[in-house]
Structure 1
Amino acid sequence: MTLISVEAIAFSYGRKPVLHDVSFTVKKGINLGLVGESGSGKSTILKLLLGLERPASGAIRFQGETLNLRDREFMRRYRRSVQAVFQDPYSSLDPRQTVEAIIAEPLRALKISGDHHAAIVQALADVGLPADAISRYPHEFSGGQRQRIALARAIVARPQLVLADEAVSALDLSTRIRIVELLKELSQAITILLVSHDLGVVAALCEEIIILEKGRIVEAGRTADILANPQHPYTRKLLASVPRMPA
């Protein structure tokens, strides 16, 4: 089942082209890694998938329906199904709010009914945090724990897809490994699109991979196949230069 299809999209910032005829699909149950160096277009694709920008041409579809920012009912369904986790666990959480208020944000914004407290406690359990974390504040937690809180916020509405934007790059190596293991566990129920510059992290989590260079897809397919036998010089360059996580 295809969750998202990106069809021949192009995008420019002013007169500067950023994406050129980019097409790919995100399939339910198959984690996808989007890899490239700074300036490759990864962040722009993420903005388009989040509805923060519109493509200059081409289309983005969710379960066959075109992403229409003007259709409020569709966008509410889309945002319930597609949530995001960002790079910096220190800046992505409001320090003035308790963990309960932070995790409840999607439930409030999407007007999801039901027992919010129970949903938040379950989300905390899903990311390996105790129920008593609910009344504490972000500054009381380590970087890895804060990223777990951010993940709990992303999954509390039970989305189908989580967009993870460099979700482990701000963490130290041992914490990064633990968060990647957590993402693996979560991906048994939720599909993950991981935006990263680190091939090692992608190899540990994603079954499929897309390599972006200067706004173009230069290689795509099964992660194991591409990393074992990269065809494009840019992919070989990334393999040679990017530090990999230990097995």
Structure 2
Amino acid sequence: MLELRAITAGYDRRAPVVRSANLTIASGESVGLLGPSGCGKSTLARVAALLHRPDAGQVVIDGTVAGGWRHRAPREQRTAFGVVFQQPRLSADPRLALRELIAEPLRAVGRSAEVTALVPELAARVGLGKDLMGRRPHEVSDGQLQRACLARALVLGPRWLICDEMTAMLDASTTAALVHVVEEYRGESGAGLLAVGHDRVLLERWCDRTVGWGQVAE
């Protein structure tokens, strides 16, 4: 179970964008977090994925309180999360070819020996052809780059997926394809999902339950 307990967070302690937020996601459950732009959804998602240290509150992962944030988090907790952000061009190193982008987490945790097998498998899974794998972000479309970012999020076999407006910049067909990949992975792995967005129709079709921002935070 993933629990966010009384989370207060932001980028200025005098004016936090998240106040006393509480959210629980059971293992294998998919939860949609619905709210308008600027309300703090993305900040809460980053806290949930151990990428942003809250000013107050706790993140509890399978009964254990998070032991740190970003690179200071214990590896077991840090690698339990796969994250896909709204804007792939801001989350992808422009110097890396797509194959290196997908392989990045494996190399970071000392699993380089698995790159040869896992990267082509995941590229095919998200719908990236071999001809695209040597291209850099500026040489592919937003949809193609977001496919690579989803493959990167899945490469370590995470127990929790955080999709923060993952499909906001994509067309309907790419959106459907990426949601299908996420759900296929969850069906196989039992991973839990937090899908953040402002599209009520998409979240209600995608997730087991959808909660509004007012149900989560003050």
Confirm or deny a common fold (TM above 0.5): yes
Q: CA deviation at 1:166?
A: 0.5
Q: Distance in 1 between matches of 2:54 and 2:69?
A: 14
Aligned to 2:3: 5
Aligned to 1:244: none
8 Å contact from structure 1 (residues 103, 153) kept in 2:
yes
Q: Distance in 2 between matches of 1:48 and 1:139?
A: 29
Aligned to 1:196: 197
8 Å contact from structure 1 (residues 98, 135) kept in 2:
yes
8 Å contact from structure 1 (residues 37, 213) kept in 2:
no
Aligned to 1:179: 178
Matched, 1:90 2:89: yes
Q: CA deviation at 1:9?
A: 2.0
Q: CA deviation at 1:38?
A: 1.9
Question: SS at the partner of 2:51?
Answer: coil
Change (3 A) 1:71 1:163: closer
Amino acid at match of 1:9: I
How is 1:73-152 mapped onto 2 (pairs within 5 angstroms)?
75-112=74-111, 114-152=113-151
Q: Distance in 2 between matches of 1:214 and 1:38?
A: 16
What RMSD, in angstroms, separates the aligned Cα atoms of the two structures?
A: 2.4
Q: Distance in 1 between matches of 2:116 and 2:109?
A: 16
Amino acid at match of 1:207: D
How is 1:13-24 mapped onto 2 (pairs within 5 angstroms)?
13-24=12-23
Q: CA deviation at 1:131?
A: 4.0
Q: Distance in 2 between matches of 1:50 and 1:35?
A: 18
Higher RCO, 1 vs 2 (CA within 8 Å, ≥6 residues apart): 2
Of all paired residues, the percent bearing the same amino acid is 34
Q: What's the CA shift string for 1:192-241, capped at 9, x where partnerless?
A: 21111111221121112221049726xxxxxxxxxxxxxxxxxxxxxxxx
Aligned to 2:166: 167
Q: Which runs of 5+ in 1 are unaligned?
A: 218-247
Matched, 1:63 2:96: no
Question: SS at the partner of 1:171?
Answer: coil
Amino acid at match of 2:149: A
- Which protein shows a greater Rg? 1
8 Å contact from structure 1 (residues 19, 214) kept in 2:
no
Change (3 A) 1:93 1:52: closer
Shifted more, 79-88 versus 92-101: the winner is 92-101
Q: Distance in 1 between matches of 2:183 and 2:33?
A: 16
Aligned residues: 215
Question: SS at the partner of 1:114?
Answer: helix
Shifted more, 155-164 versus 83-92: the winner is 83-92
TM-score, normalising length: structure 1: 0.77
Change (3 A) 1:175 1:7: same
Change (3 A) 1:33 1:214: closer
Change (3 A) 1:150 1:72: closer
Q: Which segments of structure 1 move beyond 6 Å, counting only runs of 4 or more?
A: 70-73
Shifted more, 119-128 versus 207-216: the winner is 207-216
Q: Distance in 2 between matches of 1:72 and 1:18?
A: 23
8 Å contact from structure 1 (residues 40, 215) kept in 2:
no
Q: CA deviation at 1:175?
A: 2.7
Q: CA deviation at 1:106?
A: 0.5
Q: Distance in 2 between matches of 1:214 and 1:6?
A: 13
Q: CA deviation at 1:72?
A: 6.8
Question: SS at the partner of 1:8?
Answer: strand
8 Å contact from structure 1 (residues 18, 214) kept in 2:
no
Amino acid at match of 1:77: E
